[in-house]
Amino acid sequence: MPPKDSLSGVSLHVQRGEIVALVEENGSGKTTLSRLLCGLLLPTGGEVAWDHASTADLDPWRSWKHVALVPQKFTYLPLTMRDNITFGQGDTSDAALLAACEASGAAEMLPGLRSGLNTLMTSEWFGGQQLSGGQWQRLVLTRAFHRQAALLLMDEPTAALDARAEHRIFSGLRELAKDRAILLITHRLTNVAVADRIVVLDEGRIVQEGTYAQLTRQDTSGLCGSCSDG
Ligand SMILES: Nc1ncnc2c1ncn2[C@@H]1O[C@H](COP(=O)(O)OP(=O)(O)OP(=O)(O)O)[C@@H](O)[C@H]1O
Ligand SMILES: [Mg+2]
Contact 38, 153 (CB under 8 A): yes
Residue 96 main-chain phi, psi, to 5 deg: -65, -40
- Determine the distance separating the centroid of ligand 2 and the alpha carbon of 73, expressed in angstroms: 9
pLDDT band of residue 229 (cuts 50, 70, 90) is: very low
CATH architecture of 76-147: 3-Layer(aba) Sandwich (3.40)
Q: What is the mean pLDDT of residues 160-164?
A: 94
Q: What is the mean pLDDT of residues 91-117?
A: 96
Residue 67 pairs in a beta bridge with 151
Q: What is the mean pLDDT of residues 7-21?
A: 94
pLDDT band of residue 226 (cuts 50, 70, 90) is: very low
119-128 confidence digits (pLDDT tens): 999 988 888 9
- Packing angle of the helix pair 163-176, 133-146 (nearest 10 deg): 10
Domain boundaries, given as residue ranges, for the chain: 1-66+149-230, 76-147
Task: Ligand 1 pocket test: pick from 5, 6, 23, 154 the residue with the most ligand atoms within 8 Å of its Cβ.
Answer: 6
- Rounded to 5°, the CA angle 131-135-141 comes to 130
Q: 172: how many CB neighbours lie within 10 A of its CB? A: 17
64-92 confidence digits (pLDDT tens): 899 999 999 988 999 999 999 999 899 99
Atom in ligand 1 nearest the alpha carbon of residue 35: 18
pTM metric for this prediction:
0.90
The class level of CATH for 1-66+149-230 reads alpha beta
Q: Is the pLDDT of residue 225 over 70?
A: no
Q: Is the pLDDT of residue 211 over 70?
A: yes
Pocket residues: Cβ below 6 A from ligand 1 = 6, 26-32, 72
Whose Cα sits closest to atom 26 in ligand 1? 26
Predicted pLDDT at 222: 52
Q: Is the pLDDT of residue 228 over 90?
A: no
- Determine the distance separating the centroid of ligand 1 and the alpha carbon of 71, expressed in angstroms: 13
Q: What is the average pLDDT score of the chain?
A: 90
Q: What is the mean pLDDT of residues 110-131?
A: 94
Task: Ligand 1 pocket test: pick from 31, 72, 74, 188 the residue with the most ligand atoms within 8 Å of its Cβ.
Answer: 31
Q: What is the mean pLDDT of residues 189-217?
A: 91
| String of DSSP letters for 142-157 | HHHHHT--SEEEEEST
Predicted pLDDT at 187: 81
